[in-house]
Chains A and B, each alone.
Chain A
């Protein structure tokens, strides 16, 4: 009989299982999404491939670029000194549920679950995250996070692939980043609106040299806001510029009514969060 729960302790073992039975296997990392989904659906037939204990995927490293293993937990990210310059990511990880969720929930799980409200996705997007996928048959490939996220709970992962890690771009000089989450009970509540910004100033610390923005919870997939970035780049921050950016934001997002907030509230709060994020980053970068 095929086992319902297969535990592997190395990447090679995981890839061999995925190669042989990928279509029937459901990867289980910390299980903070999957176990809830399994219990709610009463589904007991899927076979679980438990990867949580693969030591090679639990590390945060730096050699020329910053890499985060797929199995790094949110708590690990919050406490990592190597991620000091990725404040937005640490801020997001610190707001993924309570400590119990953060101690077990992984970055790879947050990405692969591809929830419209996934908190780590906006910060990862502003740091141009790239996802490494590995399979036994085809080796490894690297995909931009943006291209990896295909839709609500839908990614570009093939059945035989494992997400092994995430790499981030160098943080810009004279830059600062932030993640702002609006939720009813900030720590454990899923985001009503989440927005990450990364802003770098020019040598005179006056003009915005580089800006990257991304949102979650206001559309089916977390996404970058390139149109607003292009509007702001090269400009000096002013009230009118921020007003214009806020209006543009409303064109770019698709807020909906749900149990957590109304469409109207989301549309009201999102431009304010954008304004606050850009202003804070510019202030921090100027100091």
Chain B
């Protein structure tokens, strides 16, 4: 069966069997390996992507359910000028160590900041409760969010 959707603005058309996950299609069929596979059961958030602006765990989302939708992955964040302000804030705050969880955090936070441009700390923690990082201890990630919000306010 045919899946047509947009990924980071590009129209895509694929032939699928029907039960594939969105994660496998992104990584294996479209070679977008920025989205990571951690647990494959919705627990860790490493595979988070945006489906029409909603942050979903792509490892447990059916690819066919994304028919005619717009998908955004971490590959779509940077612009022609380089990293976006959230990505820069992660780098500057030390919010990236091994980096495995980072694409998932970036996508979850992109969804959060689109909806609530000035979240308080409780909202940030709440929104990130489905993203697991084993390196940073989260403090730097929270700091990155605050840095990004400050930067965006100045701009």
Contact = CB atoms under 8 A, between A and B. Distances in A.
Interface residues of A, number: 27
B1 A50 contact: no
A56 interface: no
A39 interface: yes
B14 to A, nearest CB: 13
Interface string B90-122: 000000000000000000100010000000000
Contact of B42 (A4, A7, A48, A100): A100
Given A50-B62, A99-B130, A36 B42 contact: yes
Interface stretch (A27-35, A173-181, A192-200, A278-286): A27-35
A100 B62 contact: no
Interface string B28-72: 000000000000111101001000001111011110110100000
B1 A5 contact: yes
Contacts, number: 90
Interface string A43-55: 0100110101000
Contacts of B62: 5, 28, 31, 35, 48, 50
A31 B61 contact: yes
Contact of B130 (A4, A5, A48, A101): A101
A3 interface: yes
Contacts of B112: 99
B126 A4 contact: no
A97 B55 CA distance: 13
B4 interface: no
Q: Which of B62, B112, B127 has the most CB of A within 10 A?
A: B62
A32 B65 contact: no
A53 to B, nearest CB: 8
Given A5-B64, A32-B60, A187 B55 contact: no
Contacts of B129: 98-99, 187-188
B95 to A, nearest CB: 18
A241 interface: no
A104 B55 CA distance: 9
Contact of B64 (A7, A98, A188): A7
A99 B131 CA distance: 9
A103 interface: yes
Q: Which of B55, B56, B60, B127 has the most CB of A within 10 A?
A: B60
Contacts of B18: 3-5, 47-48
Nearest to B132: A188
Contacts of A99: 55, 108, 112, 126-130
A203 B55 CA distance: 47
Interface in A187-239: 187-188
Contacts of A187: 126, 129-130
Contacts of A100: 42, 45, 48, 55-57, 108, 130
A90 to B, nearest CB: 13
Contacts of B108: 99-100
B130 to A, nearest CB: 2
A98 B131 contact: yes
Contacts of A142: none
Would you list the 7 A-B pairs with minimal beta carbon distance, nearest first? Answer: A98-B130, A4-B18, A187-B129, A5-B18, A35-B60, A5-B64, A98-B129
16 contacts: A4-B1, A5-B1, A7-B67, A31-B62, A31-B65, A35-B42, A36-B60, A48-B62, A97-B130, A99-B130, A100-B56, A100-B130, A103-B55, A103-B56, A104-B57, A188-B129
